[in-house]
Amino acid sequence: MWLFDRDLWLEVFATLGKNMFRTFLTMLGVIFAMVILMLLLGSSNGMSNGFDKVFAGTASNSLFIWSQKTSEPYKGFERGREINFRIEDATILKEQIPEIEVLAPRIELGSHRGKVAVYRKGRTSGSAVYGDYPEIDEITKKKLVEGRFLNKTDITDSKKVCVIGEETFKLLFDKNEKAVGEDIRINGVFFKVVGIYKPNNNINIDGENAVFIPFSTFQKAFGSGDRMGWMAISVNKDTPVPIVEEEIKKLLKNKYDISPTDERGIGSFDMSEIFNNISGFTMVLKGFSFFVGIFTLLAGVIAISNILLITVKERTKEIGVRRALGATPKIVKRQIVLEAIVLTAFAGLIGFAISVGVLTLLDYKFGSGEEFPFVDPMVSISQFLISFLLMVSLSVLIGLIPANRAIKIKPIEALREE
């Protein structure tokens, strides 16, 4: 097997080694091409990872539904009627639409996104106050800096506990004060703080200045009865969110006598849409990087072929001597092609090593950046292998050009004295 022929490799390395400088210059093109390809791929990977981090903690296949005012008259109702969801809607939806995995009802004190005065020892914060179920944590994850989030017992016992945002904490407490275990007052009712959360520096639906209390406690404390503000819903992974969204709306419109064509009666927000847009964007980015990189690589390999073509011309005499001494065309061809492969592979590996270094440096500098979505910029093994194999097969094809030129050299022409 010629692949393990030590002498063949020695021949190849001897020829490449005799003109180190030119060999190096020849490789430079491929090294750069490989660096560009790997950096592009690595950066787009980093970008994609960065977006993943931004959305970490938010279920991608989720949607939010809330009630609004109708915009069309229907079944004798006038337009502009205010719709209010009932808590039983949650049960009905869960029963009738099996694609729903998690449904977390929520109620808000005051108007939507409105501020409510929250007191503690003479301080006031204007915060949003939500009545929530612990399940909300499965749809939009809260990063807790202290204490815990709401749990099932809080609901069943209607405990007067609350989880506050960091911003709320700053407004109500001193910097080094311990908040967990302390009481705050909302609308004359006292709630004990059990946890503080930090904004996720990602998709932030609830804001940082907010107080979460158990849904059941909210009903009792503020007399909201069976009203419900909105629902956060996560959907079975295999079902597209818009389909479920339609089903839910149809069901609710029917229940609340809203015209099927009324776009305003029920508001909704499809989270998956954002995810799809972003993953589409990163896909395009990755594809583009690969495209650009591969063509750069092709240019690099063609440069190698070009140099080998010149080398073959220079080595005319040497090749002629070899032919006179019994080298068959096949041997000559194989050697030139092998030179192309070795040059390309070696340059590719150097380029790979450089780009891994650069990517590590980039990761070190920007990788943990909170403000820029750039996490863990690195190429995957398969990306590297595909590029590398593609590059080597290109070099074989392109190495055949100088190799065929070399075997066209007739020993007699090569040996003719000048």
Partner 1 sequence: MIEIKDLHKSYKMGSNSLHVLKGINFSVKEGELVAIMGSSGSGKSTLLNILGMLDELDKGSYELDNVPIKNLNETKAAQYRNKFLGFVFQSFNLINYKSAMENVALPLYYQKVGRKERQEKALKYLEQVGLKQWASHLPSELSGGQKQRVAIARALAAEPKVLLADEPTGALDSKTSYEVMDLIQKINDAGNTILIVTHEPDIATMCKRIVHLKDGVIIEDKNVEQVRAEKYV
Task: Assess 403 for contact with partner 1 (CB under 8 A).
Answer: no
Determine the interface stretch with partner 1 among 13-21, 86-94, 279-287, 292-300 (rule: CB under 8 A). 13-21
Nearer to partner 1, 2 or 372 (CB): 2
Q: Which span (64-72, 83-91, 149-157, 320-328) binds partner 1, by CB under 8 A?
A: 320-328
For partner 1 (CB under 8 A), the number of binding residues is: 26
Decide: is 20 part of the binding site for partner 1 (CB under 8 A).
no
Distance in angstroms (rounded) separating the CA atoms of residues 41 and 86 = 50
Q: How far is the CB of 10 from partner 1 (least distance, A)?
A: 9
Which stretch of DSSP H or E encloses residue 44? helix 20-55
Name the β-bridge partners of 132.
Answer: 106, 214
Stretch touching partner 1 by CB under 8 A, among 10-18, 120-128, 148-156, 351-359: 10-18
Q: If binding is defined by CB under 8 A, does position 313 make contact with partner 1?
A: no
**324 interacts with partner 1 by CB under 8 A:** yes
Residue 124 found at the interface with partner 1 (CB under 8 A):
no
Q: Does 406 bind partner 1 (CB under 8 A)?
A: no
22 near partner 1, judged by CB under 8 A: no
Using the minimum distance from each CB to partner 1, give the nearer residue, 26 or 44.
26
The number of C-alpha atoms within 13 Å of 153 and in the hemisphere containing its C-beta is 3
Check residue 317 for interaction with partner 1 (CB under 8 A). Answer: yes
Q: Does 329 bind partner 1 (CB under 8 A)?
A: yes
Dihedral angle, C-alpha 396, 401, 406, 410, nearest 10 °: 140
Place of tokens 């022929």: 5
Q: Which of 325, 364, 370, 381 binds partner 1 (CB under 8 A)?
A: 325
Nearest-5° Cα angle at 7, 3 to 11: 100
Considering the complex, state which of residue 53 and residue 322 has its C-beta at the smaller distance from partner 1: 322
Rank residues 7 and 238 by Cβ distance to partner 1 and give the closer one: 7
> How many whole angstroms separate alpha carbon 181 and alpha carbon 178?
8
Q: Specify burial of residue 11 (Cβ count, 10 A radius: 0-12, 13-18, 19+).
A: middle
Q: Does 314 bind partner 1 (CB under 8 A)?
A: no
Q: Which is nearer to partner 1, 14 or 381 (CB)?
A: 14
Strands 183-186 and 143-147, bridge-based pairing: unpaired
CA distances from 8 to 4, 310, 332, 409 (A): 8, 21, 11, 20
E strand intervals along 201-265:
210-214, 227-228, 230-235
Helix/strand/coil for 313: helix
Q: What does each C-alpha distance from 316 to 215, 321, 326, 396, 404 come to in angstroms?
A: 88, 9, 15, 21, 13
In the complex, least distance from residue 296 CB atom to partner 1, rounded to whole angstroms: 33
Contact assessment for residue 348 and residue 29, using Cβ atoms and an 8 Å cutoff: no
Q: How far is CA 39 from the centre of its chain?
A: 17
Q: Does 326 bind partner 1 (CB under 8 A)?
A: yes
Binding partner 1 (rule: CB under 8 A), the pick from 1, 3, 4, 14 is 14
Which residue in the set 53, 249, 322, 334 belongs to the binding site for partner 1 (CB under 8 A)? 322
From 18, 75, 113, 175, residue interacting with partner 1 (rule: CB under 8 A): 18
**Nearest distance, CB of residue 405 and partner 1, angstroms:** 14
Q: Counting contacts by CB under 8 A, is residue 21 touching partner 1?
A: no
- Count the neighbouring beta carbons within 10 Å of the beta carbon of residue 156: 10
Return the H-helix or E-strand segment holding 341. Answer: helix 329-366
81 SS3 class: coil
How near is the Cβ of 4 to partner 1 at its closest, in Å?
Answer: 12
Instruction: Using the minimum distance from each CB to partner 1, give the nearer residue, 20 or 381.
Output: 20
Give the nearest distance from C-beta 18 to partner 1 in angstroms: 4
Which region, judged by CB under 8 A, interacts with partner 1, from 169-177, 235-243, 281-289, 318-326? 318-326
- Alpha carbons 179 and 169: distance in angstroms, whole number: 7
370 binds partner 1 (CB under 8 A): no
- 1 in contact with partner 1 (CB under 8 A): no
Is residue 410 at the binding interface for partner 1, with CB under 8 A as the rule? yes
Please say which residue, 2 or 291, places its beta carbon nearer to partner 1: 2
Give the residue from 212, 221, 228 showing the smallest Cα distance to 188: 221
| C-alpha span between 340 and 186 (Å, rounded) | 77
**With binding defined as CB under 8 A, does residue 415 bind partner 1?**
yes
Binding site for partner 1 (CB under 8 A): 6-7, 14-15, 17-18, 317-318, 320-331, 407, 410-412, 415, 417
